Amino acid sequence: MKSPLLSWVLALWLAPLSSAFAATLLFSHNGSTDPTTEGWSRSTATTTVTGAAYDDDGTAVWRVTDPGNSSGGTGLYYFRTMNATTLDTVMTSGWELSATISVPTDDPTSGIAWGVDSNTWLGFAATEGAGRRYWALMFGRDASGNTRVTAAGSAAGTRTLAAGYHDYRLVYDPGTARVTIYIDGEVWQSDYNGASASAGSNLVYWGDNNGQSSVIPTRSAYYESVDFVVAPEPSRLLFLLLGAFAVFGRRRRG
């Protein structure tokens, strides 16, 4: 358990810095709120994939379920776009994409492995101008119900996690043009370069980004929160410090 005294001292020490170098929250999703009421757009109006509010044993989430069909619309993700001016600010100041996500062990079935692919997705694409890239996490599960995660375009392979909710953060450093990936406050990858992207809109997106052409196992994902912020260098340092302390007091859920 995190010490109340330690939390108090940390808050006093960080307060002046956080006021001077505050990060800017651009996009956010929270709990079981319909993303379209938070400013997110749906990728399509016609799809067999569903998105709905859901109570996961007391945790409010947005549940995205893919029945695994091979036609009729097989994807549904939520996205926010940004213009070239905002993109320039984001890429020169630095950005952070964070989310709390659960790949359930028994919804709608248990004991069946799901491939680690873009049926469950969290990402950001910068697709205007030169050097078009995207950075994204993709999720699946093994037959025992453990969560599996990989980073698109990374050679680091797949990480296996215990079932339940996990906190994921992608932190972009404009000085190196690389992303550090954190899982539950701990560094997983520190030199992630993303993958090449085609020309298109600059967007943050999450949900089911896969238009499969063959039948796959039915699957669901629970999105408790998604945040995208512009974080100048001092703010990123504060986030790292806060994340390190938060890991000691973080609640664990199955």
Domains defined for the chain, CATH in brackets: 27-248 (2.60.120.200)
Sequence letter at residue 250? R
pLDDT in tens, 37-73: 999 999 988 788 999 999 999 999 999 999 888 776 6
Mean pLDDT of the chain: 86
Give the mean model confidence (pLDDT) for residues 24-37.
Answer: 98
Give the mean model confidence (pLDDT) for residues 84-103.
Answer: 96
Stronger pLDDT, 217 or 252, i.e. the higher one: 217
At 71, is the secondary structure helix, strand, or coil? coil
pLDDT in tens, 131-149: 799 999 999 999 999 999 9
pLDDT of residue 238: 53
Query: Is a pLDDT exceeding 50 seen at residue 174?
Result: yes
Query: Is a pLDDT exceeding 50 seen at residue 1?
Result: no
| Under 8 Å between Cβ of 68 and 213 | no
pLDDT band at 79 (very low <50, low <70, confident <90, very high): very high
pLDDT of residue 35: 98
Spell out the alpha helix ranges (H) of the chain.
Answer: 4-20, 84-93, 233-249
Percent of the chain with pLDDT over 70: 81
pLDDT of residue 20: 46
Neighbours of 216 (CB within 10 A): 18
Tokens of 157: 């392979």
